[in-house]
Amino acid sequence: MNRQAQAAVLFLLGAALLHAGATDLYLRYVKAGLRPLLLASGVVLIAAAVATAWYERRRAGRSGPGHAHPEPRVSWLLLLPLLALILIAPPALGSYSALRSGTALQKPYAYGPLPAGDPVPLSVVDYASRAAYGHGRSLHGRPVRVTGFLALDRAGRPYLVRMALNCCAADAQPVKIALTGELPPVLRPDAWLEVTGTYTPRLTRDPVNDGPIPYLKVTSTRPVQAPPDPYDETWNT
């Protein structure tokens, strides 16, 4: 691979990063807060590609025709991340990963006020932390609405799950809510549900890491489409 080819690969990789950052594609790889850094990386790669092409053109003009020294063949490996980014859009992690990882639920430093609404819209992490560590004190008498995907353990017990990110999809871990009450007759793993229900003090332990998994008493469910950002970023706050 000569310098001009390297510049072309850098340009294409930078353009692919800009495309991912300008659309929802980047959410399959990193959390939403890293979008500015992803876009900046794309700009830097494109600038490096332009500078490399300009420098090589000037150098060729000064030295005139001659024998080119081939670059190491290993440099063609630069194409691999480019092809992966363009051709492969990995699905979000689902029930298979969730059931093989322990809950990432952690005790928060404090609880903010509940959002307005009836039912109250809460994330999986927010409900689980209030129920498990806050003992439901802020939830008494308030119906809640939570959205996540379904996971069924070996005994068929249903969980509402959201994979939580610290940085990127590689470190995603599940936060789980066990479901009881009025459930659909057919439960399909990885299906996304909007669940309305009320707090119950019932609690179970995750068989993987013995972490707390609170229950939610379901009063109604509604199937929904997977959100553009399938991950939750608030587990460590």
Among residues 60, 87, 114, the one where a domain terminates is: 87
Same domain? For 122 and 204 the reply is yes
Q: How confident is the model at residue 153 (pLDDT cuts 50, 70, 90)?
A: very high
Do 120 and 145 meet the contact criterion of CB atoms below 8 Å apart?
yes
Q: Distance between CA atoms of 112 and 237, rounded to whole angstroms? A: 12
Whether residue 80 sits in one domain with residue 105:
no
Q: Find tokens 């005790």 and name the residue.
A: 107
- What is the per-residue pLDDT for 229? 77
Q: What is the mean pLDDT of residues 164-191?
A: 86
Distance CA 104, CA 102 (A): 6
- What average pLDDT is seen over the chain? 82
Q: Tokens 């229950």 label which residue?
A: 215
The domain boundary, picked from 56, 87, 118, lies at 87
User: Residue 174: what residue type?
Assistant: P
Q: Which of 63, 87, 111 is the last residue of a domain?
A: 87
Q: Is residue 10 assigned to a domain?
A: yes
Residue 230 lies in a domain: no
Mean pLDDT on 7-33: 75
Q: How far apart are CA 168 and CA 92, in angstroms?
A: 11
Lowest mean per-residue pLDDT among 15-29, 88-102, 120-134, 145-159: 15-29
In a domain, 149, yes or no: yes
The Cα-based distances of 94 to 71, 91, 141, 193 in angstroms read 42, 8, 32, 13
pLDDT of residue 216: 97
Q: Region 81-105: what's the mean pLDDT?
A: 78
Tell whether 71 and 45 lie within a shared domain: yes
Task: Give the helix ranges, DSSP H, for the chain.
Answer: 3-22, 35-63, 79-87, 95-99, 124-132
- SS (HEC) of 4-37: HHHHHHHHHHHHHHHHHHHCHHHHHCECHHHHHH
Rounded CA separation 196/63 (Å): 73
Over range 64-88, report the average pLDDT. Answer: 63
What's the average model confidence in pLDDT over 142-164? 93
CATH of the domain at 182: 2.40.50
Residue identified by tokens 């590689």 is: 170
Q: Are residues 101 and 184 in the same domain?
A: yes
User: Are 83 and 113 contained in the same domain?
Assistant: no
**The predicted structure's pLDDT at residue 236:** 42
Tell whether 141 is covered by a domain.
Answer: yes
Whether residues 67 and 105 share a domain: the answer is: no
- Say what the pLDDT of residue 117 is: 86
Mean pLDDT of 101-123: 88
Identify whether residues 143 and 215 lie together within a single domain. yes
Answer yes or no: is pLDDT of 235 > 50: no
pLDDT at 210: 94
- The answer to whether position 103 is within a domain reads yes
Residue 228 lies in a domain: no
Report yes or no on 47 lying in a domain: yes
For residue 218, give the nearest of 161, 179, 187, 177 by alpha carbon.
179
Note whether 78 and 99 are same-domain residues: no
**pLDDT value, residue 68:** 54
CA distance 99 to 19: 33
Share of the chain above pLDDT 90, in %: 37
Residues 22 and 133 in one domain: no
Among 211, 213, 215, residue whose Cα is nearest residue 202:
215
Average the pLDDT over 56-82 and give the result. 65
Pair (105, 60) in one structural domain: no
Work out the pLDDT band at 39, boundaries 50, 70, 90.
confident
**Domain around 144:** 95-223
Is residue 170 classed as helix, strand or coil in its secondary structure?
A: helix
Q: For the chain, what is the domain count?
A: 2
